[in-house]
Amino acid sequence: MPAVAPTTDDDDLFSGSTMTIGEHLEELRACLIRGAIGLLIGVVIGFFIGRPVVHLIESPLRRALGDYYTERAIEAFDQWTPRRHDGPGLPYSRSEIIDAVERHGLSFELREVHPGRLPGSPPVVGERSAFELEALEPILLWQPLARDSRVSITTLSAQEAFAIYVKAALLVGFVLAGPWILYQLWTFVAAGLYPHEKRIVHLFLPVSTVLFLSGVALAFFFVFDFVLAYLLAFNEWLGLDPDPRISEWLSFVLFLPVGFGLGFQLPLVMVFLDRLGIVESTTFTSQWRMALVIICVTAAILTPADPYSMLFLAVPLAALYFGGIALCRWVNHSSTHTAHAEHAGS
């Protein structure tokens, strides 16, 4: 029976993929240009929404600093004792403190004063040569947590704020254009695949986008809180009070979510290597122990020097690795089944 020419699907985004090396390079150049244009558009959008984005980026750090100083203040409240046996106690109960902090959003500092030296008190009669330490009595200084100077994030130069704004716009641009850039990369990859494999790429495109955005969201909305809590607790253990700069925090914010988003592409990279014949799915299965070691080392490189962020990246990557093995097997089975069907129809 003569071979039947394969039908062309007009809806196939990757039709006509038989190209020379020069044409492949031209396709790569076109994909890179389209990806760069998408990134530029995303950055332009980022400039328009840069201010709320900066405030959004600050929010995890401000929240962590607020929790840090509130917990330290409550610990100081619990540990305070009068300077003399018959001295006055604290002017608030612990229940009032917790209510003020949790329900009214207030922060406080525990201080001590001489009541007789406050403005409006009767003047001190006679000159005193010694400081009356045991006469100090406690007071609590209250203010809204949002106005607490310890929770504020500082800049050390006039131009640093502008650099922060530009970095925030770049972050927005990369996150918005990330799915489009991945689409262009998969478009280039699909040009070298067989027709039945190209159909699988149509599935990869939305999966790749979902994985990228899931990695970014996991880092920003979940990992940051644990990482900051650990780092601030380490500061407390060393007896140091943090005074974070927004530029340093923004560099951290730029790096971690993007690293998570790219790391979550692992299953698709595994399928790509398997389809090219570089690494077979059986190798992924047999070398899973070595793969876990590589994942842990990679997670340690892509994250700051703390165990929480490394674990929060390594554990999902390990799960995605085994998911990638299952995906490789499914793709191979689907490709084999389709090839047999096409051969039987010829």
Q: What is the mean pLDDT of the chain?
A: 78
Confidence label for 37 from pLDDT (cuts 50, 70 and 90): very high
Interior CA angle at 91 toward 85 and 96, to 5°?
130
Average pLDDT over residues 20-46: 84
Q: Is the pLDDT higher at 53 or at 336?
A: 53
Identify the pLDDT of residue 345: 58
Three state DSSP letters for 182-220? HHHHHHHHHCCCCHHHHHHHHHHHHHHHHHHHHHHHHHH
CA distance 264 to 320: 7
Q: How confident is the model at residue 275, as a pLDDT? A: 72
Q: Please tell me the predicted confidence (pLDDT) of residue 339.
A: 54
Of the two residues 332 and 132, the one the predictor is more confident about is: 132
What's the confidence (pLDDT) of residue 99? 92
Can you count the helices (H) and strands (E) in the chain?
Answer: 11, 2
- Mean pLDDT value of segment 226-244: 80
∠ Cα 304 309 312 (to 5°): 155
Q: pLDDT confidence of 40, banded at 50, 70, 90? A: very high
Beta bridge partners, 139, equal: 111
Six-digit token string for 247: 């530029």
What are the boundaries of each domain within the chain? Answer: 21-46+154-345, 56-120+132-147
Q: Is residue 158 very low, low, confident or very high in pLDDT (cuts 50, 70, 90)?
A: confident
What is the pLDDT at residue 191?
67
Average pLDDT over residues 67-71: 86
Of the ranges 75-89, 228-242, 280-294, 300-314, which one carries the lowest mean pLDDT score? Answer: 300-314
How far is 309 from 302, CA to CA, in rounded Å?
9
> Please, are residues 184 and 206 in contact by the beta-carbon 8 Å criterion?
no
Q: Give residue-wise pLDDT tens across range 73-122.
A: 888 888 888 888 887 888 888 999 999 988 898 888 888 888 877 777 77
139 secondary structure, DSSP code:
E
Please determine, for residue 4, whether its predicted confidence score (pLDDT) is greater than 50: no
Contact (CB, 8 A) for 194 and 242: no
Q: Phi and psi for 108 in degrees, rounded to 5?
A: -145, 160
According to the model, what pLDDT value does residue 122 have?
Answer: 76
pLDDT attached to residue 44: 92
The C-alpha angle 37, 188, 327, rounded to 5 degrees, equals: 120
Reported as a pLDDT band with limits 50, 70 and 90, residue 305 is low
Residue 43 in this model has a pLDDT that exceeds 60:
yes
291 vs 242, more confident: 291
Tell whether the model's pLDDT for residue 222 goes beyond 90.
no
Q: Which has the higher per-residue pLDDT, 105 or 331? A: 105
Alpha helical stretches, state H, 21-91:
21-48, 50-79
Report pLDDT digits (tens) over 146-156: 888 888 777 77
Band of residue 215 on the pLDDT scale cut at 50, 70, 90? confident
pLDDT on residue 45: 92
pLDDT value at position 29?
Answer: 85
